[in-house]
Amino acid sequence: MKNLLYLLLLVGIASCKPTDATTSNPTPRSINDAAFGAYWYQGKAELNAYALEQYRYGEKRDGEAVLIFVTEDFSREKQVKLDNPQASEQDAQKVLKLNLTKKFVTGIYPYSMMLSVFTPVYDSIPAVKVTASSQEWCGQTYTQLNRSHGKYKAQLFSYFEQESDQELTLDAIPEDNLWTLLRLDPGQVPTGEVKLIPALLDQRLTHAPLAAEEAFVSLAAAQDSMAGFAAADLRVLDVKYKTYPRELRIFYTAAFPYEIAGWEEVKPLEGGKREVSRAVRKSKLLSDYWTKNKTEFEPLRQELHLK
């Protein structure tokens, strides 16, 4: 009986998919409701910890990265998390949220970087919001993309004089949206020649102008094993830019729920040399972590192998 009620609830959700203010005629996204709901609607987030090798200032730094994936109700109008979605059914939009953090040390001072991506589950449109921040002892920067009428309003706030504060409009898909599209369904990742907004955290390291760039996106079988996964169980999403100095490779499981085993970010240098920053997963935990904020829950960090 419980299973029948659960399936009826999923059908109800699918048949009442909200329209999105960014498009007049949204197309429903193809999602396996039963499998997706059983995994992503159990009231827990997926926490993944990674051993990170991050290049900065020409040297490789050891650090940690964390990927947190969770579904939540999002306001279409305000583009923020809804406090009471039951009272705002017409405004509510179910999203898959990614929070990605990177922490590493450069000499005496540390870097702390964070990315958040909010991608609709049921409307076939790109992320409605992407934010990124970077903090280190020189200062801090913040970037935000808000989707409106098929484009992105971009805001950049920086302590660097050459950047300062900026507002501009970008007509492209955020590269950062590819992470959440993979988790929804790799078949929905746009492939071939695609115009992308390069990863916001990478843009914070390169300080390249915030702009749309030509890229080629492909999906293929992985050639090597990674993080305890056999090569036969993995696929790789590859992003190569035409002129922007960056390549991204995300290694993910071929079967649902398409877990992220690790990734590589490649920066080409003069003379054919390359800097390859990479992350390899070391642990995974499903948890309602927002309720685990007392000292008694600190051992869970050991379970995730976090320093």
Distance of alpha carbon 168 from alpha carbon 143, whole angstroms? 11
Domain that holds residue 240: 2-303
pLDDT in tens, the chain (307 residues): 434 334 434 433 333 333 344 444 567 787 878 899 999 999 999 999 999 999 999 999 999 999 999 999 999 999 999 998 888 888 999 999 999 999 999 999 999 999 999 999 999 999 999 999 999 999 999 999 999 999 999 999 999 888 889 999 999 999 999 999 999 999 999 999 999 999 999 999 999 999 999 999 999 999 999 988 999 999 999 999 999 999 999 999 999 999 999 999 999 999 899 999 999 999 999 999 999 999 999 999 999 999 8
Amino acid at 146: N
Question: According to the model, what pLDDT value does residue 30 have?
Answer: 75
Question: According to the model, what pLDDT value does residue 141 have?
Answer: 95
Amino acid at 277: S
Question: According to the model, what pLDDT value does residue 263 have?
Answer: 98
Question: According to the model, what pLDDT value does residue 112 have?
Answer: 98
The tally of domains found in the chain comes to 1
Average pLDDT of the chain to the nearest whole number: 91
Distance of alpha carbon 62 from alpha carbon 32, whole angstroms? 38
Does the model's pTM come out above 0.85?
Answer: yes
